[in-house]
Amino acid sequence: MRKEKGFSLLEILVAFAILALALGILLRIFSGGVRTAIVADGYTTAVQIAESLLAGTGVETPLQAGQSTGMENDTYAWQVTVSPFQIADVPADTLAPGIGLMQVEVSVSWSEGGAEPRLVELTTLKLVNIPS
C-alpha cells in the first residue's frame, strides 16, 4: 500500500472549524472594543458640553436663580439649574457683606442607537454679588 502525501478531507474540515471559531471570537472582541470606544466618545463629548456650560454660567449668562435647557448637536440635551446655596450650620452672614453662593448644576443626557439613556452631571459653587 502506497502512502498518499497531503491532507485528508477530515483534516481540512477540522482546520476550517477551528479557524471559524477563532474568527468568531476575534470578531466579538473587536466589536466590543468598538462599542466601548463609541460610549467613551459620548461621555467625553457630554463632559465637554457640561464643563463649557459651567464655565459660561455667570460669564455668558447671568448668575441668577433659575433653569435653562437646550440641545447640542441634536444629540445631547442639557439642563442648567442655578439656585442659592446655604452652607449647613453656618449663618448666612458668615460671608463678606454683599457676597453669596450660588450652586450651579449641569446635566447632559443622550442616547446612542436605541441604548439606554446616559447622563453626566456636574455641580459647582460660584460667588455672586448680592445688591444691598
The span from the CA of 119 to the CA of 30, in Å, is: 26
DSSP the chain: -PPPPS--HHHHHHHHHHHHHHHHHHHHHHHHHHHHHHHHHHHHHHHHHHHHHHHHBTTTB---SEEEEEEETTTEEEEEEEEE---TTS-GGGSPTTEEEEEEEEEEEE--TTPPPEEEEEEEEEEEE---
The per-residue pLDDT for range 82-94, each reduced to its tens digit, is 999 877 776 666 6
Bridge partners of 119, per DSSP, are 109
What pLDDT score does 2 carry? 61
The per-residue pLDDT for range 52-89, each reduced to its tens digit, is 999 999 888 888 899 999 999 889 999 999 999 877 77
**What is the pTM assigned to this prediction?**
0.73
Q: What is the mean pLDDT of the chain?
A: 87
